[in-house]
């Protein structure tokens, strides 16, 4: 029996790759020296494509795959894809949000606690000998009883809210629509920031959310406020963030993502009131394996004629 053709823009984890190699005739675009020619040669035979959110998927690329039915993405984000063209052509998209939910939610809480308790500075205090020379580390800030604002109440946002509530925090959220959740819905993002001690951004990237955490939102969070971003760097107005942190108008930022990666703005990384991770929220062996497995499982569903496991609604991207 002839194996179906599969276009591979980005390699997957070893266990997933072994399954894909066994089930499909895999065309490795990522290894091709002339990528356009490679797509022109092999793209017409492919009903499915495997990738992650870091590779581009343009209209020109899609035009070279006229039979394409599914883009199976092993990451949560997909802002580099031409979603309007995909929606117009009826190409389905799946991603891995459920697989990475717990690790990303845990990382948001990790950044919050590390920032509020001064973990990085406290570690240096012990290692440098300042504890013996200068005495106890300065008092820090408790999170129990404080106010948590969650920006985006999708799957991961709900997990962050649940963790915040378990820590004794008062949880509110902003979303494009009221999700009818157990926590207080605040339709105005500036108001949510004003009424929060910690604001966590966990919305999708892309043009629709670019600069959503604006200068006005940052100023509303205030000089005692903490901004945590585990979404995408584009979600935050980084110039405004740097200015607010430098001037003391914002207390602290806990960041996993940046406007420029992997080389964040040195004005940001040099600030003492930042706690930083290298876009690592989902980066555990278990979660990355599970993310890759969603690609395998969604592809299997397509070719078996079954319902896709983790579809993304592209209805909002239809022109007009």
What is the domain partition of the chain in residue ranges?
5-98+286-317, 100-276
pLDDT of residue 320: 60
pLDDT of residue 54: 83
Backbone torsions φ then ψ of 97, nearest 5 degrees: -50, -45
Query: Of the listed 116, 232, 252, 288, which one is catalytic?
Result: 232
Confirm if 93 and 62 have CB atoms less than 8 A apart: no
Q: CA-based angle 223:228:231, to the nearest 5?
A: 145
- For 5-98+286-317, give the CATH class: alpha beta
Helices (H), the chain: 14-23, 35-42, 59-63, 83-89, 97-116, 119-127, 130-134, 155-166, 189-194, 215-221, 238-247, 266-269, 285-304
Count Cα neighbours of 24 within 13 Å in the Cβ-side half-sphere.
26
Sheet of 48-51: strands edge to edge? 25-28, 5-8, 48-51, 70-73, 92-94
Cα distance between residue 268 and residue 252, in whole Å: 11
Cα distance between residue 227 and residue 148, in whole Å: 10
pTM, entire model: 0.90
Cα distance between residue 196 and residue 186, in whole Å: 11
- For 100-276, give the CATH class: alpha beta
Coil, strand or helix: which one is 70? strand
What is the Rg, in whole angstroms, of the alpha carbon atoms belonging to the chain?
22
pLDDT digits (tens, 9 = 90+) for 135-152: 999 999 999 999 999 999
- Short-list 27, 81, 19, 23, CA closest to 52: 81
pLDDT of residue 208: 85
Query: Of the listed 176, 216, 261, 306, which one is catalytic?
Result: 261
- Short-list 283, 304, 279, CA closest to 292: 283
Active site residue 252: no
Cβ-Cβ contacts under 8 Å for 180 (sequence gap 6 or more): none
Active site residue 27: no
Copy the structure tokens of residue 15.
């266990």
Copy the structure tokens of residue 298.
């969604």
Active site residue 207: no
| pLDDT by 10s per residue, the chain, length 320 | 699 999 999 999 999 999 999 999 999 999 999 999 999 999 999 999 999 988 999 999 999 999 999 999 998 888 889 999 999 999 999 999 899 999 999 999 999 999 999 999 999 999 999 999 999 999 999 999 999 999 999 999 999 999 999 999 999 999 999 999 999 999 999 999 999 999 999 998 888 899 999 999 999 999 999 999 999 999 999 999 999 999 999 999 999 999 999 999 999 999 999 999 999 999 999 999 999 999 999 999 999 999 999 999 888 777 66
Query: Of the listed 13, 54, 89, 279, which one is catalytic?
Result: 279
User: Does the CA dihedral 290-293-294-295 come out positive or negative?
Assistant: positive
pLDDT of residue 46: 98
Task: Answer whether 5-98+286-317 and 100-276 agree in fold.
Answer: yes
Cβ count near 158 (within 10 Å): 20
pLDDT of residue 80: 87
């Amino acid at each position: 029996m002839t194996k179906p053709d599969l276009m591979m823009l980005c390699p997957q984890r070893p266990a997933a790759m072994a399954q894909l190699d066994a089930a499909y005739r895999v065309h490795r675009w990522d290894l091709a020296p002339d990528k356009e020619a490679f797509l022109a040669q092999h793209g017409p035979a492919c009903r499915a494509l495997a990738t992650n959110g870091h590779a581009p998927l343009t209209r020109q690329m899609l035009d070279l795959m006229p039979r394409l039915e599914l883009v199976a993405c092993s990451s949560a984000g997909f802002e580099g894809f031409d979603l309007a063209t995909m929606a117009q052509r009826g190409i389905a998209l799946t991603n891995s949000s459920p697989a990475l939910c717990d690790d990303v939610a845990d990382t948001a809480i990790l950044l919050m606690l590390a920032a509020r308790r001064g973990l990085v500075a406290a570690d240096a205090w012990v290692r440098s000998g300042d504890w013996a020379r200068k005495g106890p580390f300065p008092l820090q800030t408790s999170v129990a009883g404080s106010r948590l604002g969650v920006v985006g109440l999708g799957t991961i946002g709900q997990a962050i809210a649940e963790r915040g509530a378990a820590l004794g925090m008062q949880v509110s959220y902003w979303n494009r629509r009221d999700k009818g959740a157990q926590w207080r819905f605040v339709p105005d993002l500036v108001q949510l920031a004003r009424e929060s001690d910690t604001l966590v951004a966990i919305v999708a990237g892309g043009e629709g959310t670019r600069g959503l955490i604006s200068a006005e939102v940052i100023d509303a969070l205030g000089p005692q406020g903490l901004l945590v971003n585990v979404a995408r760097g584009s979600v935050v107005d980084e110039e405004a963030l740097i200015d607010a942190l430098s001037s003391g108008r914002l207390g602290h930022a806990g960041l996993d993502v940046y406007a420029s990666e992997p080389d964040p703005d040195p004005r940001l990384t040099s600030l003492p009131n930042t706690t930083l991770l290298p876009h690592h929220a989902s980066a555990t062996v278990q979660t990355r394996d599970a993310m890759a497995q969603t690609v395998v499982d969604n592809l299997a569903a397509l070719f078996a004629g079954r319902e896709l496991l983790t579809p993304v609604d592209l209805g909002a991207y239809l022109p007009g």
